[in-house]
Amino acid sequence: MNKLELVVFNVGHGLSVALIERPENYVTLVDLGAETGFTPLKYLSLNMKLRPDVLFITHPHADHLDDVETALDARFSPLGLHFQIYDWQDVKKREMKDLAYKVDDFLKLQKQVSFRNYGGSARLTAWRYTPEGARKSFGETSYVNNSSLFLVYVWRDFKITIAGDLESDGMAGMVGTKTVQEAALSTDILIPSHHGHKNGFPTEWIEKMGKPYVSIISVQERDKSVDSRYNSSEFARGIQFNGETRYSLTTRKDGNIMITMWYGSDGGARWSFASF
């Protein structure tokens, strides 16, 4: 059966999202978040018998590169890699000292895995500020977050937007860009920027793109910065999840989240939401 599976993994403070196109089993993985004792790459391989055809890195902060050691293992490594070019030494010096090695490991991965664009049966478009452009527009402190890839993925009638770690000013710039507005218009599922933090909330999203059905937020338990506006009928249309109407789902409350999308015998679009 033709269907799409969207998995937002519970990786604490980080992000890892899989888009699995069936029956082709084409896998797009977005970012390398991981949690102690849990790696999405191993889960995909050992539990689902899958391997990413392409890995998109939205930006090179350690929480989005956490699983890079697994990616370097030939048994689990992606078949292709998509990323922006940075001044890697500058990125490295901005990391906490005990995490800077993640950047070095990512440079090793670039040598091991070829650069690749998306090649599945859906449509995936990436917008970005270049690192140099983000530095000029938003300053030294936030330029890595604000050069995150902004991804719009369309499978048949379903639209999913993944906003990386864009902060408020970078997000406002994206939302204010006409081509981005046109692409993200009527997004069904939003994976908000910057772990759903207030510093990243898209204040003009409703006006420019309309309400998504639901936001899915990857966030750790002790994070108090999630913006409550995501969990409101003012921002989302709502979906049924475990017998209740929800406007946002979070990995800290709901764990690993899977959304399955398909078409019924009558041709109507269907989806189901589950956690594991």
Q: What is the pLDDT of residues 92-101, one digit of tens each?
A: 999 999 999 9
pLDDT confidence tier of residue 222, bands split at 50, 70 and 90 = confident
What pLDDT sits at residue 221?
Answer: 84
Contact 135, 145 (CB under 8 A): no
Q: Is the pLDDT of residue 1 over 90?
A: no
> Is 30 inside a domain boundary?
yes
Contact 219, 13 (CB under 8 A): yes
> Is 180 inside a domain boundary?
no
- Nearest-angstrom CA–CA distance, 81 and 53: 9
Cα angle: 57, vertex 91, 89; to 5 degrees: 120
> Is 12 inside a domain boundary?
yes
> Is 152 inside a domain boundary?
no
> Is 160 inside a domain boundary?
no
Can you give the length of the chain in residues?
276
Give 18-33 pLDDT, tens digit per residue: 999 999 999 999 999 9
Of 273, 175, 192, the closest CA to residue 226 belongs to 192
Cα angle: 35, vertex 41, 47; to 5 degrees: 100
> Is 134 inside a domain boundary?
no
- Nearest-angstrom CA–CA distance, 116 and 85: 14
> Is 271 inside a domain boundary?
yes
Domain range for 98 is 3-118+196-275
Contact 126, 112 (CB under 8 A): no
- Nearest-angstrom CA–CA distance, 185 and 237: 14
- Nearest-angstrom CA–CA distance, 3 and 6: 10
Distance of CA 234 to CAs 129, 206, 226, 229, Å?
29, 9, 16, 7
Model pTM score:
0.97
Give 43-90 pLDDT, tens digit per residue: 999 999 999 999 999 999 999 999 999 999 999 999 999 999 999 999
CB neighbours (10 Å) of residue 243? 5
pLDDT confidence tier of residue 103, bands split at 50, 70 and 90 = very high
Q: To the nearest whole number, what is the mean pLDDT of the chain?
A: 97
Q: Is the pLDDT of residue 224 over 90?
A: no
- Nearest-angstrom CA–CA distance, 130 and 143: 9
- Number of domains comprising the chain: 1
Torsion angle, CA of 88/91/95/98, rounded to 10 degrees? 0
> Is 62 inside a domain boundary?
yes
